[in-house]
Structure 1
Amino acid sequence: MTTLTRRTLIGGVAGAAALGLAGCDRSPGVEVRAGSLTSKHWPGRKVTWRIAQQTEGDADPRPVVVVLHGKGGDASHAFRILNLQDHANAARLTLASVDGGDYYWHARRAGVDTGAMVVEDFLPLVQRETGYAGKVAFLGWSMGGYGSLLLASQLGPGKVFAVVAESAALWTEPGSSAPGAFDDREDFEAHDVFDGSRTGVLAKIPVRLDCGRSDPFVAGNKAFAKVLPSAKLTLDEGGHTADYWKSHGGPQLRWIREQFDRQ
């Protein structure tokens, strides 16, 4: 039996500081550990993270799913509100979430780049913490659904094996985006996941889109599925709510595992 222990990890890359683990929320066979990091991409911020990992069983580390929260959320929401840890063992996956503020997971005029923080600081941390060094998957809702598509389009199929974008915050024109999602038109265009260069990359990665028919982003999700016909689009009952996201967590994680097994 392997038991995960709390520990302090000193050192790291690209501005990572000493990381202390604190907190432990359990689901059968799974422990959720919490810690923090510092990053040059988010100056002056103590960025918290969570990792849900099996407490016994597999000899090899399980594949990692990076979970990106929606606007107004934080690293804890994946577990405290959506209870994704309840499905981690059945799907044979490790889940890793991190704070992203309300910066929509890309570089902003304010001097914050939570997308670069994920790639340059959080992913190496997760590798050290879990021992898993392979391709990762992304799962996110609302702002995090957009962020999952964006980061996967940057990293490509060499580093990402699957993406789930749930109720993704997607707009086809800069003038229709929510206040605060982008700094200006140029920012929108630089990070537009509808752009052909990005959809061309995403076409090489299994992508799943889930959206409720009553969700305000349903039109954007339908439009995105048209420019990325390889994506699996599911439209069902529900809105832009935690209840919708929570009810889809188990099937989504099982789908991610299926994509990993098909590699």
Structure 2
Amino acid sequence: MGTVSRRGVLLGAMGAATSGALALASCGAPGPTRRSGTLTSRHWPGRDVHWQLAVPSGGHDDQHPLVVVLHGKGGDASHAFRIVHLDDHVQATGLAVASVDGGDYYWHARRSGVDTGAMVVDDLLPMLRRLTGYTGKIAFLGWSMGGYGSLLLASQLGPDQVGAVVAESAALWTDAGLSASGAFDDREDFVAHDVFERTDVLSRIPVRLDCGRSDPFVPGNRAFAKALPSAQLTFDEGGHTGTYWRDHGKAQLEWVARTLRQ
């Protein structure tokens, strides 16, 4: 086993008032370079928003397609790596994987004045492009609240900017009255951000839907699959759990890598 080494560098302010540290660890085979830091955004006033990034070591950062990961309700930027362990698959797939805090705001504009979706688009994405130099199409990957958010943000950015979407165990409802408490401010908010009404755009983006058969969101995911027949659909054993999301991460990132490089 090789000697483990770590080093950090301070990242300067980059438009979105970012700061971060770079760490690299190796033990035998090379592993991804890890960066983390905070940004500030007018879309989330008074909050230091944490982000994390894992980039394959070797080659140039701008050669690695970028995947933005959106966590579920109750999660934060750390869940993509600490719970779902997506960093385990960064080196093999050649993808740069980034995650960010989103609170419990369901990745869209809320009456409170917080809009974590706009924060991703206006602040996180430009920062990540400056950090990596990557200029191509991105991918979204999310579970639960983040699965819904991935579909929503992809529909807003469209096929010119988004090349793949993985919506896993997505929090999807066919009617505002069925939605979880706190997911939307009211019926009007639900209607304004209803991804079932955005399938014309999403049909022009490769979409993968994964959902465990024991997941409470199965009805919404089945309905969405009918509304978006172009999506690649998997219903298999499992529930709404970190184990399910972790077990599917490798195959999902391999699918993203193939799709973005086609």
TM-score range, shorter chain: over 0.9
TM-score by length of 2: 0.93
**Bigger shift: residues 180-189 or 50-59:** 50-59
**d(CA) in 2 for partners of 1:140 and 1:40?**
23
Shift of 1:32: 2.0
Q: In the TM superposition, what are the counterparts of 1:75-90 in structure 2 within 5 Å?
A: 75-90=77-92
Q: Describe the SS at the equivalent of 2:50.
A: strand
How many pairs were matched up? 255
- Report the CA distance between 1:54 and its aligned residue: 1.5
How far residue 113 of structure 1 moved from its aligned partner, in angstroms, is 0.2
Partners of 1:223 and 1:59 in 2: CA distance: 39
Which 10-residue stretch deviates more, 100-109 or 81-90?
81-90
The equivalent residue for 1:7 is 10
CA contact (8 A) 2:55 2:61 kept: no
> 1:103 aligns to what?
105
Aligned to 1:214: 214
Q: Please give the per-residue CA displacement for 1:178-220, whole angstroms capped at 9, x wherever unaligned.
A: 000000000000000001xx10000000000000000000110
What residue is the counterpart of 2:248 in the other structure?
248
Query: Structure 1, residues 29-51: CA drift from partner, whole Å, max 9, x if none?
Result: 20221100000000000000000
Q: Which residue of 2 aligns with 1:227?
A: 227
CA deviations over 1:60-86 (Å, ceiling 9, x no partner): 420000000000000010001111000
Is 1:203 the counterpart of 2:206 in the alignment? Answer: no
TM-score between both structures, scaled by the size of structure 1: 0.93
CA deviation string 1:140-189 (max 9, x = no partner): 00000000000000000000000000000000000000000000000000
Q: Deviations over 1:79-99 (max 9, x none)?
A: 011110000111110001110
Within 5 Å, which residues of 2 pair with 1:42-57? 42-57=44-59
Matched residue of 1:90: which SS? helix
Q: CA contact under 8 A between 2:13 and 2:19: conserved in structure 1?
A: yes
**One-letter code aligned to 1:168:** A
SS in 2 for 1:86: helix
Q: How far apart are the structure 2 equivalents of 1:6 and 1:50?
A: 14
Residue 51 of structure 1 aligns to a residue whose secondary structure is: strand
Structure 2 stretches of 5 or more lacking a match?
1-5
